[in-house]
Chains A and B, each alone.
Chain A
C-alpha cells in the first residue's frame, strides 16, 4: 500500500531533550515536506526537500533540522525542544514539487513538550 509513515504518533517529552520524528514514503517520491498544524493557524511548512541531499527552509524552520540522505526518508529533528513546539506534525510527499502532483500526507505526530 502506497503511504507516508510517521513515527511515533504521539510523543511527550521535556524541554531540551533532543528528539527525532521519522518519516518514510514507499512511493519513490522526489519531494518531501514537514508541516505543523496549530489551532487557528492552519498548516505551516517547516522544511521541504526537492530531492536527496537538497533541503530548504519553509515558513517556520526555527528550532528544527531535517536531513534527506535517502529518497524515502525525511526525519525531523528537534535538537532542543521547547514548549512552543508543542503541535501536530505532518510529513508529506509528492512525486514532483509541481502542482500537478498532489501531496500525500502521513497521519501525523502529536508532540507535547513540557
Chain B
C-alpha cells in the first residue's frame, strides 16, 4: 500500500513558467513532508520541507503548499530554470512522542523537464 503518491511520472514546463509538482498521501499521522531533487548519477538532495502544522513554506523560487484536509501537497517552482530539470521526490515522515521516527516514505518521483 503506497502511502505517498506522485501520480505524474513526468512533467514538461517551459523555461520561465511555473512548475507545479503534486503529491498525495494517505497516512494522516505524517508530521513532516519533504521534497528532494535528484540528478542522474547523483544521490537525492534536500530541497524544502514543511511541518504538518503549517500550510506553506517558501524558500527562494521554491514554495511548498500543504492541504491537510485533502492530504495533498504541491511544490511550486517560479520561475522554472533549465537547471531545475531533474527527478523530484516527495517524502513524508512520522515522528513519535519519544523523539524517534520511522524512516522517510518516498513517492515514486516526477521527472521535471524544463524546455527552453
Q: Which residues of A contact B (CB under 8 A)?
A: 4, 33, 35, 40-45, 48, 50, 58-59, 90, 92, 96-100, 102-108
Contact = CB atoms under 8 A, between A and B. Distances in A.
Interface in B26-78: 31-32, 34, 36, 41-46, 49, 51
Interface in B86-116: 89, 91, 93, 95, 99-101, 103-109
Contacts of B91: 43
A100 B32 contact: yes
Contact of B95 (A33, A43, A99): A99
Contact of A102 (B31, B49, B95, B100): B49
A99 B41 contact: no
The size bracket of the interface on B is 20 to 34
Interface string B1-15: 000001000000000
Contact of A99 (B45, B51, B107, B108): B51
Nearest to B106: A43
Given A90-B44, A107-B41, A97 B100 contact: yes
Contacts of A41: 108
Given A45-B104, A102-B34, A108-B41, 6 more contacts: A42-B109, A44-B106, A98-B101, A102-B46, A105-B45, A107-B41
A33 B46 contact: no
B34 to A, nearest CB: 6
A108 B108 contact: no
Contact of A90 (B32, B43, B99, B109): B43
A105 B6 CA distance: 21
18 contacts: A4-B43, A40-B108, A41-B108, A42-B107, A45-B105, A48-B103, A58-B103, A59-B105, A90-B43, A92-B43, A97-B95, A99-B34, A99-B93, A99-B95, A99-B101, A100-B32, A103-B46, A105-B43
Contacts of A42: 6, 89, 106-109
Contact of A107 (B42, B46, B108): B42
B43 A45 contact: no
A107 B6 CA distance: 23
A92 B45 CA distance: 10
